[in-house]
Chains A and B, each alone.
Chain A
Amino acid sequence: MLAAVLSIGGIGFIAATALGIAAKKFAVEVDPRELAILEALPGANCGACGLPGCSGYAKGVVDGSIYPTLCTPGGSETIQAIANILGIEAAAVEPKVGIVACQGDNSKAANKYRYLGLQDCNAAQKLADGPKTCPSGCLGLGSCERACPFGAIEMTAENLAVINREKCTGCGKCVSVCPRQVIKIAPAEATVHVLCNSHDKGALVRKYCQIGCIACNICAKTVPDAYVIDKFLASANYEHIENAAAAIEKCPTKCIRDFSTGYPEGSSFLPPTIPAKTKAA
């Protein structure tokens, strides 16, 4: 009995001593700043910074191999926190959000065939370039919704992706999974956007979509600085957003939308109650 207690106790003591020495001798030194930065990051591991996860980004920031301003989900608060930890001055960062540049849901845009395969946009796109007649519109099978680490994207009943501007952090994960590049990352302070992605000529767009941009140029004539027409598609010029909303009423296909007044039809999101995020001081 005693022998057993002593031998087990002895083994335990020797092992504990060995482990204690090993822990001191082979200790991996972690920069305390790295741990502090990791603490300050949102921890979503979204990859917006270009590194696989938050710990990789924290390490990169500390050893100076990557800019400390790349964490879009964290926004200016996180960047200020990182700057405080590193003892440097924080640069202003512009908050960004994702925009689905399409309003052509199943009730408004035509389909060339009925798709019954795997409910994934990338799979549908491989079959004769997707069921939607429009070559650039939202396919509505929800690949972006599943990719979003923040739960900011919803699919409407008529299969259109809509991004919630308050939940979206502008990380861009949805942009990389969308096979048709419908999602754009835009400054959060700009709330007026042309929600169309088709570079087809106006007459063709009219054939397959009720709410697509036909490049009629009326928006650019109404507010000259705020819109540019490129390859039969209007887009908002984010440098001059002041009067952009004035063109909304004039647009014949209603493809310009001001997100501060509401989301596209069918969305359950309510218009933002708080003012749009502006540039950090």
Chain B
Amino acid sequence: MELKTFVGGLHPPDSKSRSAQKPIEQCPLPELLVIPASQHIGAPAEICVAVGDQVKKGQVIATAKGFVSVPIHASTSGEVVAVEPRPHPMGRNLPAVVIKPDGLDQWDDSLQGNNPDELDVDTLKKMICQAGIVGLGGATFPAHVKLSPPEGKTIDTLILNGVECEPYLTADHRLMLEECDQIIDGINILRKVLGISRAVIGIEANKPDAIAKMTAECAPHNIEVQALKVQYPQGAEKQLIDACTGRQVPSGGLPMDCGVVVQNVGTAAAISTAIRLGRPLVERIATVTGSAVAQPKNLRIAIGTPLQHLVDQCGGLTGTPGKIIMGGPMMGQAQLSLGVPAIRGTSGLLILREEEVSAKAAGPCIRCGRCVSVCPIHLQPTTIAAYARLSMFDETETCHALDCIECGCCTYICPATLPLVQSIRFAKGAIMEKKRKS
């Protein structure tokens, strides 16, 4: 099969072999679950339980505030022992609900499954929102917003993201192998909601078993499977659309501007569970891996499980940990400690040994242009970063800093170890702040 791809990007060592052949395991519940109210892009949910309340699994503990927001649910049954700011993966203390599991893991009785064929589109969208479904690739954008294109935008293609281009992570890979039926059911529901028939699953060529399995299973459902070249960031929305359809998302635009909606395969499976079984998003699959983890695994974890508990399930740490990253090594977020909980966007937990982490001080730019050649958006990272260092934010905007997808290719390739993507992200923040003020 011909491998499609995009222009730019690079190929870091994928390091997936540590966990790629490990079947998904159910992670036992920890002693305490810490469930933050902000786990998605958009307005944080508003906590609606108090200390002492008994909650059931799947019960709403925080309600959505606004359109770009989703409710948060209890990940197990038990007692609310605290409602207070707790360390959040974002690096600061944010409001969270702390639940002490009662060990029964009882679902809320009011949650009922439905047959999606009997429901109309608006009901389906509403159910997807109420189940708290967000993009599970890591960006955690509320799924119902993507499924509600504004007037005048026509969607003709649904792309399923099974690329998993981040090194180390294998959660989506295992999901495609083990829960293929749910993904396909989710795709059928998504196609019904969007009123379209074309669906494409993009999978990177380093997962031949997943490509073979999905191709065989999807054939009767009229779903295309597209093998893609192993190239980072193949799984970034705009690059995936380019590779699968040849269409370009305009600068400042959204995928729906070129008639496409992209959802992660994990999101599709979660949508199937939410509609068929009525069960909201209270668990997800995450890869716990890295050289400092004794036995890397793919775990099905309850949302709110502390990272330390995940490490304990994987045989603990070996060697001195040098860096704790939530997500993959390219776009994941470095953590201050293992005391923070796993949230809806936690696609993996990567712990690297001290000797693997290089922390060289930045040198001067040698104008080699490597960052320019790898930038998948075709920006000039070195120029934007130089302007950002000088606080010349209007100039960064004319260099299209806002189009940066923060994939980190420029920083990865820079021989002078300049903090390029960090500078561009800083500039983006400053530009957005200026726009809000004016």
Within 8 Å of chain B (Cβ to Cβ): is A127? yes
- Nearest Cβ on chain A to B143's Cβ, whole angstroms: 28
For B401-434 the 0/1 string (1 means CB < 8 A from A) is: 0000000000000000001001100100110000
Q: What residues of A have a CB within 8 angstroms of the CB of B362 in the complex?
A: 116, 119
Q: Are A126 and B426 in contact (CB under 8 A)?
A: yes
Size of interface on B: residues with Cβ below 8 Å to A: 18
Interface check A258, CB cutoff 8 A: no
Residues of A within 8 A of B385 (CB): 118
Does residue B92 face the partner (Cβ distance < 8 Å to A)?
A: yes
In the complex the two chains form, is B92's CB within 8 Å of A118's CB?
A: no
Do the beta carbons of A123 and B422 come within 8 Å of each other?
yes
Q: How far is the CB of A179 from chain B (nearest CB, A)?
A: 12
Q: Which residues of A sit under 8 angstroms from B423, Cβ to Cβ?
A: 117-118, 123
Question: In the complex, are the beta carbons of B426 and A128 less than 8 A apart?
Answer: no
Contacts of B419 in A (CB 8 A): 116-118
Do the beta carbons of A120 and B92 come within 8 Å of each other?
no
Contact A128 B90 (CB under 8 A): yes
In the assembled complex, the CB of B420 is this many whole angstroms from the nearest CB of chain A, namely 9
Partner of B92, one of A113, A116, A119, A128: A128
Residues of A within 8 A of B388 (CB): 118
Q: In the assembled complex, which residues on chain B have CB atoms less than 8 Å from the CB atom of A112? A: 336
Give B290 Cβ to nearest chain A Cβ, in Å: 18
Tell whether, in the assembled complex, residue B92 and residue A129 are in contact, meaning their CB atoms are under 8 Å apart.
Answer: yes
Q: How many residues of A contact B (CB 8 A)?
A: 14
Interchain CA distance A117-B423 in the complex, whole Å? 7
On chain A, the residues within 8 Å of B361 by CB distance are 116
Q: With A116-B419, A118-B422, A118-B426 in contact, do A127 and B359 touch (Cβ < 8 Å)?
A: no
Q: Is A122 an interface residue (CB 8 A)?
A: yes
Q: Does A231 contact B (CB under 8 A)?
A: no
- Dominant secondary structure of chain A at its interface with chain B: loop
Q: Which residue of B lies closest to A177 (CB)?
A: B391
- B389 in contact (CB, < 8 A): yes
At the interface, yes or no: B334 with Cβ under 8 Å from chain A? yes
Q: Which of A116, A118, A120, A129 contacts B359 (CB 8 A)?
A: A116
Q: Is B28 an interface residue (CB 8 A)?
A: no
A25 at interface (Cβ–Cβ under 8 A)? no
Residues in A whose Cβ lies below 8 Å from that of B103: none
Is the C-beta of B91 less than 8 angstroms from some C-beta in chain A? Answer: yes
**Which residues does chain A contribute within 8 Å of B336, judged by CB atoms?**
112-113, 128
Q: Are B92 and A126 in contact (CB under 8 A)?
A: no
In the assembled complex, how far is the CB of residue A221 from the closest CB belonging to chain B, in whole angstroms? 34
> Inside 8 A of A123's CB, which chain B residues have their CB?
422-423, 426
Query: Shortest Cβ distance from A241 into chain B, in angstroms?
Result: 36
Candidates B90, B91, B334, B389; contact of A118 at CB < 8 Å:
B389
Q: Do the beta carbons of A120 and B389 come within 8 Å of each other?
A: yes
**Contacting residues, chain B, for A128 (C-beta < 8 A):** 90-92, 336
A24 at the binding interface (Cβ < 8 Å): no
Complex alpha-carbon distance, A116 and B336, angstroms: 14
Residue from B90, B359, B422, B429 within 8 A of A114 (CB atoms)? B359
User: Inside 8 A of B422's CB, which chain A residues have their CB?
Assistant: 117-118, 123
Residue from the list B90, B92, B334, B426 in contact with A122, Cβ < 8 A: B426
Q: What separation, in Å, do the CA atoms of A126 and B388 have in the docked complex?
A: 14
Chain B nearest CB from A180 CB (Å) reads 14
Least Cβ–Cβ distance between B109 and chain A, in angstroms: 41
For residue B272, give the distance in angstroms from its CB to the closest CB of chain A: 36
Q: Give the contacts of B378-392 with A (CB-CB under 8 A).
A: 385, 388-389, 391
| C-alpha spacing A128/B334, complex, angstroms | 10
Inside 8 A of B426's CB, which chain A residues have their CB?
A: 117-118, 120, 122-123, 126
Alpha-carbon distance A119/B422, docked complex (angstroms): 10
Nearest B residue to A117 via CB reads B422
What's the least CB distance linking A3 to chain B, in Å? 51
Residues of A within 8 A of B389 (CB): 118-120
Report the nearest B residue to A114, measured CB to CB.
B359
Please give me the residue from chain A that is nearest to B430 by CB atom.
Answer: A122
Residues in B301-328 with C-beta less than 8 Å from chain A: none
Taken together as a complex, chains A and B put the C-alpha atoms of A120 and B90 apart, in Å, by: 20
Q: How far is the CB of B326 from chain A (nearest CB, A)?
A: 12
Alpha-carbon separation in the docked complex, A122 to B287 (Å): 33
Interface string of B326-362 (1 = CB under 8 A from A): 0000000010100000000000000000000001011
* Residue ID in chain B nearest A118 by CB atoms: B423
Nearest chain A residue, comparing its CB with the CB of B389: A118
Some 11 contacts from A to B, beta carbons below 8 A apart, are A113-B334, A113-B336, A116-B359, A116-B419, A118-B426, A120-B389, A122-B426, A122-B430, A123-B422, A123-B423, A128-B91
5 nearest A-B residue pairs (beta carbon): A128-B91, A117-B422, A123-B426, A117-B419, A118-B423
Contacts A116-B361, A117-B419 supplied; 14 other A-B pairs, CB < 8 Å: A112-B336, A113-B334, A116-B359, A116-B362, A116-B419, A117-B426, A118-B422, A119-B362, A120-B391, A123-B422, A123-B423, A126-B426, A127-B91, A128-B90
